[in-house]
Structure 1
Amino acid sequence: MIHLYLKQAWALLKQNKLFSTLYIAGTGLAIAMTMVMAIAYYVKIAPVYPEVNRLNTLYLTNCRIEQGPEGNKSVYQWAVSYKALQDWFYPTRNALCVSAQLNSGTFSDSYIQPADRSGDFSVKTKLTDPAFFRIYPFRFLEGKPFTASDLAGGICTEVITDELSRRLFGVSKGVVGRSFRLNYTDYRICGVVDAASYLMQRSYAQVYLPYSVEADYREPKYGMDYLGAYSVTFLVKDNEQADALKAEVKDIVRKENLMHPDEWKVEFWEQPVSHLVSIFHSFVGKEFDVWATVRYFLLVLLVLLLVPALNLSGMIASRMENRLAEMGVRKSFGAGRRALLSQVMWENLLLTLAGGILGLVLAWVIMYTMREWVFNVFDKWPDSVPQGVDITVSGEMLFAPLVFVAVLLLCIVLNTLSALVPAWHSLRKPIINALNEKR
């Protein structure tokens, strides 16, 4: 019976080309827009190389310190200092791995001076420690990360990407041990990694350096021992250990504030936060409103899926009026309302699947050709792409089967309801009225 319904649906699709085209195009556009949004957030949230540990990663990026007695306080807000790393975070017990990244003013605009004197060009650098490569397991094409000894000694060594290696030396292998000038200082290459996409904001760089190459990496900010320019990343085993880590950090805050209540107080708010929360919570000092975020996405889905479904419902209602005579004939030969509704449902399903394929292809085209805009359009504080950096969109980003299936199923449900409601209403008319309808 289903095979017969599909054959009938295919025949009707060819007979009513305008209706079928509009239906498929409307469904495809709704799915494409929803897929674009879903993939954009999938890339931000899902485990994608090299950020494959996102589900078990937590971040601490901001610190607030109040100094002075009550009524005459000075408030400072920045990140944490080198001393805070050594005293508070590196020794934490409830983390598999702890890494720090230095937000350096000196290296924020870094330039390489090629040996052939072809002209300086800018590169994106990241100042970190060896633990960074355990939290973000890059694929090393050759060599290895810089070591704890390199970090302690301030050795000018670095890990670079294969893309930068090809630009500098023409090859991606056989360059370990070679040097080049960065900001007019010679650095020796200790490893080459498979480059991450620029969309992986937590891990992306073209050059990875020990943070100790910064001259004043030990210096605090504003004269406060624990205020500095380091952000901290934690890797935990599971949610239970994540909760234990948060409790441990809160205990650090409690103890420090009890030790010198009249001198200064430290505040980390609800940090460290999970990767998921960090995507939707742009300012850690403000309480995260989960339901406001949920309402926002429900509204977006309403616009992207429900509005097109209502438009399609109107088209189907008009089409059903034109098919009443056909339905009346089928009723007179004993077809029940259930059988007629089943036929309408299968016709709708065939058109929706065709629209789904169109929507998927259209979404891929949009994501690839407009990638510099699409992946930032939903951000409150979008970053501009650095000059010379190409946003790489890998297959694992574009092809997310679960995302497509979820969007398609939601669209099928809405489209089926938009088809069955007008069909059920039309089929309630008496058979004599249906037979008297003009074709």
Structure 2
Amino acid sequence: MLLNYLKIAWKVLLRRKFFTFISLFGISFTLMIMLVVMAMVNHITGAQAPEKRIDRMLFVSLLNQQLRDGGNMNSPMSAHFIDRYVRTLKTPATVALTSMTSTVTSFANNESLSLDVRYTDGNFWKVTDFEFLDGRPFTGQEVSRADRVCVISEHTARAFFGTTKGVAGRIMELGIYRYRIAGVVPNVPVIRFYSSADVWVPYTLSTSYRTDSRLDGEFIPILLAGPGAEALPAIRAEFAQVMRRVEVPDPKAVKKLSAHADPALASITRQLTNHTTTEDDGMGVFLLGCTVLGLLFMLLPALNLVNLNVTRILERSSEIGVRKAFGASGSALVGQFLVENLVLAGVGGLLGLGLAAGALHLLNGSHFIAYAQFGLSWWAFGWGLVLAVVFGLMSGVYPAWKMSRLHPMDALRGGGSGPQ
């Protein structure tokens, strides 16, 4: 029986090409958008090089100062604050720091280059997982001595020297200073907010490190947890205790200081949802909003399918009347129409997968997001296909049930309101 239903469903889809096209477009386009968005989210927050252990990392992206006049001031931390408070934590396996990127103009082969420079410490290379194409990272001793050394990206190496091999140990000019190159690493996508750059240099070379003793600055601590499920909660709890002991530098102007050690995605949602002063990182609000938007996005093609299914089934009222006159039960008719919708959802899901693969290939080739290479998320595809099937079934249940209740004579006349 099921095989017959599948054969009928396939023939019906081929016979009504316009209905099939509209339905497949709605399902496949919706699934394609979902897969592309999930690929981008995974590239930002997933375990991708050089942050392969991002599930064990916590980031303190903002220091919030609640002012007594009612305002708030949010900024990264100073190196002074990190050295005095964050590096005293006992629970992290490693404490590193990184800065926000700044742009420096340099010249290579008579061409002007705008390079993103990031200040880091020696531990930065311990918490990240860079693959070195040449040379090595700069060490903690070089950082403490404020040596003018740097690590450069593959793109920067090719721009200056035309190769990535034999570059370590050579000298390059960055702004008004000359740096000795310690190593070369692969290009990092710009959407890896805490590690991407064209050039990495010791943070002790930053002017803010030498002159700024304030609590706010340009640096973000990265806390790497050890193995174990309790490691991250323990670090967050200890960091919260340390923050309670931080002295307010200007009690007359500043009422309270707050900062939070968050996973990568939570550090973003905290800023998006403006939860910088509370323990709640805004993840619940963010996920709820994404879920509602996703369901609404999936619901629109489902409602469209309901209308199309009603029209399609009304066109087949004579067929339904003949089948009922020959003894077909209402459940058999409902089953047939549901199988047709399942076939439609399955084909639409496969087309959506193909469209998403093509869209990601074009996005990667366009270099719209520098150095990013997006890949399909099979987890997202599985859930997307399940939702497509569920909405496909929902769009077919009501019209199928309604027509299966018609009296054979009403169905043969092209529809009616009286159930059998």
For Structure 1 versus Structure 2, the TM-score category normalised by the shorter chain is 0.7 to 0.9
Alpha-carbon spacing, 1:428–1:292, altered in 2? closer, same or farther (3 Å): same
SS at match of 2:230: helix
1:421 aligns with 2:414: no
Q: Contact 2:64–2:277 (CA<8 Å) still a contact in 1? A: no
1:132 aligns with 2:121: no
Q: Could you tell me which of 236, 243, 260 is aligned with 2:225?
A: 236
- What residue is the counterpart of 2:347 in the other structure? 354
Alpha-carbon spacing, 1:335–1:172, altered in 2? closer, same or farther (3 Å): farther
Q: Contact 1:99–1:131 (CA<8 Å) still a contact in 2? A: yes
- 1:258-316, CA deviations, whole angstroms, 9 ceiling, x for partnerless residues? 999899876224x0122221232214524444553244223312331101101111100
Query: Which runs of 5 or more residues in structure 1 are unaligned?
Result: 374-387
Q: Could you tell me which of 153, 160, 165 is aligned with 1:168?
A: 160
Distance 1:295 1:66 in 2: 28
Q: Could you tell me which of 46, 67, 85 is aligned with 1:88?
A: 85
| More off after superposition, 95-104 vs 195-204 | 95-104
- What residue is the counterpart of 1:246 in the other structure? 236
1:190 aligns with 2:182: yes
| More off after superposition, 77-86 vs 141-150 | 77-86
Q: Contact 2:137–2:182 (CA<8 Å) still a contact in 1? A: yes
Letter in 1 for 2:146: G
1:298 aligns with 2:287: no
- 1:342-366, CA deviations, whole angstroms, 9 ceiling, x for partnerless residues? 2222211222222223323333444
1:279 aligns with 2:268: yes
Q: Contact 1:159–1:208 (CA<8 Å) still a contact in 2? A: yes
Q: Could you tell me which of 380, 388, 410 is aligned with 1:433?
A: 410
- What residue is the counterpart of 2:313 in the other structure? 320
- What residue is the counterpart of 1:47 in the other structure? 47
Q: Contact 1:157–1:209 (CA<8 Å) still a contact in 2? A: yes
SS at match of 1:410: helix
Letter in 2 for 1:45: T
Q: Contact 1:34–1:305 (CA<8 Å) still a contact in 2? A: no
Alpha-carbon spacing, 1:308–1:260, altered in 2? closer, same or farther (3 Å): closer
SS at match of 2:118: strand
Letter in 2 for 1:246: R
1:391 aligns with 2:370: yes
Distance 2:9 2:72 in 1: 69
Alpha-carbon spacing, 1:404–1:393, altered in 2? closer, same or farther (3 Å): farther
* Sequence identity (%): 26
Q: Contact 1:9–1:347 (CA<8 Å) still a contact in 2? A: yes
Letter in 2 for 1:34: M
Distance 1:261 1:95 in 2: 30
Alpha-carbon spacing, 1:286–1:82, altered in 2? closer, same or farther (3 Å): closer
Distance 2:252 2:243 in 1: 15
Q: Contact 2:353–2:381 (CA<8 Å) still a contact in 1? A: yes
Cα shift at 1:31: 1.8
Alpha-carbon spacing, 1:412–1:147, altered in 2? closer, same or farther (3 Å): same
Cα shift at 1:219: 2.7
1:34 aligns with 2:34: yes
Q: Mapping of 1:67-78 within 5 angstroms?
A: 78=75
- What residue is the counterpart of 2:378 in the other structure? 401
Alpha-carbon spacing, 1:266–1:191, altered in 2? closer, same or farther (3 Å): farther
Distance 2:319 2:124 in 1: 68
1:143 aligns with 2:122: no
Q: Contact 2:47–2:54 (CA<8 Å) still a contact in 1? A: yes
Q: Please report the RMSD computed on the Cα atoms of aligned residues, expressed in angstroms.
A: 3.0
| More off after superposition, 339-348 vs 140-149 | 339-348
TM-score between the two structures when normalised by the length of structure 2: 0.87
Q: Contact 1:66–1:73 (CA<8 Å) still a contact in 2? A: yes
Q: Contact 2:187–2:371 (CA<8 Å) still a contact in 1? A: no
Distance 2:372 2:45 in 1: 15
Distance 1:319 1:258 in 2: 70
Q: Contact 2:305–2:392 (CA<8 Å) still a contact in 1? A: yes
| More off after superposition, 177-186 vs 341-350 | 341-350
| More off after superposition, 252-261 vs 170-179 | 252-261
> What is the aligned length?
410
Q: Contact 2:92–2:235 (CA<8 Å) still a contact in 1? A: yes
TM-score between the two structures when normalised by the length of structure 1: 0.84
SS at match of 2:96: strand
Alpha-carbon spacing, 1:296–1:265, altered in 2? closer, same or farther (3 Å): closer
Query: Which runs of 5 or more residues in structure 2 are unaligned?
Result: 416-420
- 1:170-223, CA deviations, whole angstroms, 9 ceiling, x for partnerless residues? 2222211112111121111111112221222221111111111224523325xx
Cα shift at 1:75: 8.0
Q: Contact 2:65–2:258 (CA<8 Å) still a contact in 1? A: no
Q: Contact 1:253–1:266 (CA<8 Å) still a contact in 2? A: no
Letter in 1 for 2:321: G
Distance 2:156 2:45 in 1: 27
Alpha-carbon spacing, 1:219–1:75, altered in 2? closer, same or farther (3 Å): farther
Q: Could you tell me which of 332, 338, 341 is aligned with 2:331?
A: 338
Q: Contact 1:81–1:219 (CA<8 Å) still a contact in 2? A: no
Q: Could you tell me which of 108, 113, 122 is aligned with 2:107?
A: 113
